[in-house]
Chains A and B, each alone.
Chain A
Amino acid sequence: MTSKYKDVYIASVGTVVGPYEHEGPLAKRFDKYYDDMYFGTDSLESAEVKLVNDSIDIALRKAKKEKSDIDLYIAGDLQNQIAASCYAAGKIERPFLGIYSACATNTEAMLLAANFIESKNCDNVLISVSSHNMVAEKQFRNPTEYGAPKPSTATFTATGGASSLLTNKKSKVRIESSTIGTPIDMNQTDPLDMGSVMAPAAAHTINRHLTDLGRTIDDYDLILTGDLGLYGKEILIDFMQDEYGIDISKKYNDCGVILYDLDNQKEVQAGGSGPVCSALVVYSDIIKKLEKKELKRVLYVATGALFNPTMVFQKENILSIAHAVSLESVE
């Protein structure tokens, strides 16, 4: 499903990261960072809640808004029962929708917010996503103490919180259209190779978006996927060419590859992942380039593996999904 929007703008963004992201190439562009993985809290789970609340404070401060100005708060993360988002929402005490599309959560939040604003039900919608490396490892893969080595296709869940305030008041960047993705099953079962799981979902959504709007790849300056990583990136380029005959290789990049310095940060393997991975790159880098008009229009396709450890233990496949949002620089 593809929708177009007239009056949906990004008023401000807030990004907070952990130590690994701060060693990456975008280090200076994040609003705030922490040196250790606990951020002064007692548990890794509450550390993630702190990330979300910090990013909310920064986004609101930049937009000169109060918590009471928020009509709706939409957030999601990777913890069980999206706990980080719920507890963060508990602190800001505004109407709240908790959502989950794994690493595609940020674009899901953006397009939901855009629909609420476009339909004039809300003036200001705040959205957040977060993930924490050690929480996600324990939840989806193995606890750190297990010490299991990982293959080079494995991605590294980013640690961070990212919030943005979407509004109907004109700003420099707007959300121009969105496409809601369809879950895809490609018979994949390896949780340490999410790139292969998610690349077909991204291809499907990009093709759907272009077909629905009658556009070609030339209408965009950049196609940006969420967290396919080094190998998933190659798969997507091949898949787009073979399946749909579209060559995206010249205008395409992946946030998982941008977020870290893959040559020097060996621990991240094939690149970053997690809902916050794409949000950090888009908010800290892409939106700034749109504001400066270095980019005119960007198709941001966040990709999510709808991975449930229990289902995988029961020999079910890993499904994937991708939601796309088109961001445009405002004249």
Chain B
Amino acid sequence: MIYIYSFLFAGAVSLIGQLILDNTKLTPGHITSMFVILGSALDIFNIYDLIVAHVGAGALVPITSFGHLLIHGGLVRASEVGYIGLAMGVFDLTASGITSAIFFAFIFSLFFRPKD
């Protein structure tokens, strides 16, 4: 069952993205930002965790998961060290993703040139 839920959830996120792209003047940059904010908003009351539990990778792969991880990291650290932890922990869970994006971008830029 988790496979079907996973398929439906990720498909729904993509569908919303495509609808926005086709019917508004918003760019992919706007859309990904909106999804990140949506994912972080859903972390309140652990809604997104609940979704992940039922949907699995379908909820972890779309960019909404990035927003969820941002807030989640902040909340975890806040529970350990108090309010300052909100700012300290924001990038805890996403650090590996951001670091690898920068690292691989650098590596690939050494070997390849932009193409049309």
Binding site for B on A (CB under 8 A): 37-38, 44, 133-134, 142-149, 190
User: How far does the alpha carbon of A143 sit from the alpha carbon of B27 in the complex, in Å?
Assistant: 13
Q: In the complex, what residues of B have CB within 8 A of residue A44's CB?
A: 114
Cβ of B11 under 8 Å from chain A: no
Are B114's CB and A143's CB within 8 A? yes
Q: In the complex, what residues of A have CB within 8 A of residue B28's CB?
A: 146-148
Q: In the complex, what residues of B have CB within 8 A of residue A133's CB?
A: 116
C-beta contact mask, B87-116 vs A, less than 8 Å → 1, else 0? Answer: 000000000000000000000000001111
Are A37's CB and B21's CB within 8 A? no
Interface size on B, residues (CB 8 A): 9
C-beta contact mask, B20-50 vs A, less than 8 Å → 1, else 0? Answer: 0100010111000000000000000000000
Q: In the complex, what residues of B have CB within 8 A of residue A142's CB?
A: 27
User: How far does the alpha carbon of A12 sit from the alpha carbon of B37 in the complex, in Å?
Assistant: 59
C-beta contact mask, B51-72 vs A, less than 8 Å → 1, else 0? Answer: 0000000000000000000000
Are A148's CB and B114's CB within 8 A? no
Q: In the complex, what residues of B have CB within 8 A of residue A134's CB?
A: 114, 116
One of A144, A147, A149, A190 near B116 (C-beta < 8 A) = A144
Are B21's CB and A144's CB within 8 A? no
User: How far does the alpha carbon of A147 sit from the alpha carbon of B31 in the complex, in Å?
Assistant: 13
Are B114's CB and A144's CB within 8 A? yes
CB of A323, distance to nearest CB on chain B (Å): 30
Q: In the complex, what residues of A have CB within 8 A of residue B25's CB?
A: 190
Nearest B residue (CB) for A37: B116
Given contacts A38-B113, A144-B114, A144-B116, list 17 more A-B pairs with CB under 8 A: A37-B115, A37-B116, A44-B114, A133-B116, A134-B114, A134-B116, A142-B27, A143-B114, A144-B115, A145-B114, A146-B28, A146-B29, A147-B28, A148-B27, A148-B28, A149-B21, A190-B25
Q: Which of B25, B28, B113, B114 has the most CB of A within 10 A?
A: B114
Nearest A residue (CB) for B18: A149
CB of A239, distance to nearest CB on chain B (Å): 23
CB of A151, distance to nearest CB on chain B (Å): 9
Jot down 20 A-B pairs with beta carbons below 8 A, ordered by A: A37-B115, A37-B116, A38-B113, A44-B114, A133-B116, A134-B114, A134-B116, A142-B27, A143-B114, A144-B114, A144-B115, A144-B116, A145-B114, A146-B28, A146-B29, A147-B28, A148-B27, A148-B28, A149-B21, A190-B25
User: How far does the alpha carbon of A38 sit from the alpha carbon of B29 in the complex, in Å?
Assistant: 28
CB of B24, distance to nearest CB on chain A (Å): 11
Q: In the complex, what residues of B have CB within 8 A of residue A143's CB?
A: 114
User: How far does the alpha carbon of A159 sit from the alpha carbon of B110 in the complex, in Å?
Assistant: 26
Q: In the complex, what residues of A have CB within 8 A of residue B115's CB?
A: 37, 144
List of 6 A-B pairs having minimum Cβ-Cβ separation, nearest first: A148-B28, A37-B116, A144-B114, A134-B116, A148-B27, A145-B114
CB of A192, distance to nearest CB on chain B (Å): 8
